[in-house]
Amino acid sequence: MAIVNLQNVTYKYPLTAAPALQNINLHVNEGEFVAIVGPNGAGKSTLCYTLAGFVPHFFKGELSGTVEVAGIESHDSTLSEWVLNVGLAFQNPFNQISGAKYTVFEELAFGLENIGIAREEIRARVEEAMKLTGISDLADRSPYSLSGGQQQRVALTSILVMQPRVLVLDEPTSQMDPIGTREVFGVIRTMAERGMTVVLVEHKVEWIAQFADRLIALYEGQILLEGNPQEVLTSPVLTNKGFGISRYTAVARRAKEMGLWRKEKLPVTLEQAIEGFALTSSPPSASFRDASRSPKGRGE
C-alpha cells in the first residue's frame, strides 16, 4: 500500500517566477526504497522538503495538488505532527545540528526529548541507533568537532532514532569516503528491509543501482523517467541533460558502438559490467572466473 502519495503537485517558492516542482505524481509503497536523481536545480531538494512538510509549512510559497503521507494530508497537518511520520536528513549536516547540545549523544536524544519519550527508552534508542550507524565512539564528542562525513552520520542517526515511517535523505553520503558510503547504504537498505520507507536523493548512481528498488529521474521540476534503476540509468533519454551516469555505462555505450559490447542492456554496476564484458574478452581469464564467485549486486 502506498504510504506516500503526491498528486499533481506543483510548488513555487515565494519571490520566484518559475515553479520548482511541476505536476509531480509520486506514490511510494511502505518499505520501498526509492531513489531520486537529477542535475542540480532539478527540484530534488524541494521534493525532499515537500515530503518532509517544510514545503509549505516552513518555506510558505504556493503549493497546489495533494501531498499525503500515512493517510494525512500536508495542508491539514502541522510540522510538529508531520515529523512523527517523516524524517529528513538535510543535504548539509551542519544545517541540521541543533547547536543546543554539547555532545553527540545529547544531540541524538534531542528529537526524542521533544516528543516526550521516556528517559530510559531514549537512552536505549540512541545507543541502538549509534551502533547501527557505527558512531558509538563519537557519543561524547561535540557535534561541531566532527569531520563532514562524521557529521553526516550523526545527522542520519538523529533521524533514525525518531523511527519515522518515511525516511527522506538528501545526499546523505556526499562528504563520506567510499567505504563510509557503502556502510551507510547498507544501513539504509536494512531500514527498508525492516519496513521503513526510504526516499533518497543521490548522485552516486552505482550505489543506487545496487540498493534502490525504484528510481525517479527529475529534470526541471518534473519527473522525466521512472522505473527499474538500471533501465532508467542507462536510458538515452538522460543523455546531455546533466545526469550523472556510471563509468561502466559510459564505457559500455562506447564499446557498443565499437562492437565490443554484445549485450542488449547497458551496465550500471561493476558486476553487470563484468558479466557483459566477459562476453567480449573470451576465453574468460582466470581472474574473471575468480571474480564471478563473489556476490552479485542487487541491481541485476
* Identity of the amino acid at 284: P
CB of 166 to another protein, least distance (A): 23
CB of 72 to another protein, least distance (A): 32
Binding residues (CB under 8 A) for another protein: these are 38-41, 91-92, 94, 145, 147-150, 171, 174-180, 203, 206, 242-248, 250-251, 254-255, 258, 260, 270, 273-274, 277-278, 280-281, 284-288, 291
Residue 75 or 289: which CB sits closer to another protein? 289
Residue 82 or 277: which CB sits closer to another protein? 277
Residue 72 or 251: which CB sits closer to another protein? 251
CB of 32 to another protein, least distance (A): 25
Residue 118 or 179: which CB sits closer to another protein? 179
CB of 118 to another protein, least distance (A): 34
User: SS3 string of the chain?
Assistant: CEEEEEEEEEEECCCCCCCCEEEEEEEEECCCEEEEECCCCCCHHHHHHHHCCHHHHCCCCEEEEEEEECCEEHHHCCHHHHCCCEEEECCCHHHCCCCCCCCHHHHHHHHHHHCCCCHHHHHHHHHHHHHHHCCHHHCCCCHHHCCHHHHHHHHHHHHHCCCCCEEEEECCCCCCCHHHHHHHHHHHHHHHHCCCEEEEECCCHHHHHHHCCEEEEEECCEEEEEECHHHHHCCHHHCCCCCCCCHHHHHHHHHHHCCCCCCCCCCCCHHHHHHHHHHHCCCCCHHHHHHCCCCCCCCC
CB of 110 to another protein, least distance (A): 24
Residue 51 or 273: which CB sits closer to another protein? 273
CB of 292 to another protein, least distance (A): 9
Residue 70 or 291: which CB sits closer to another protein? 291
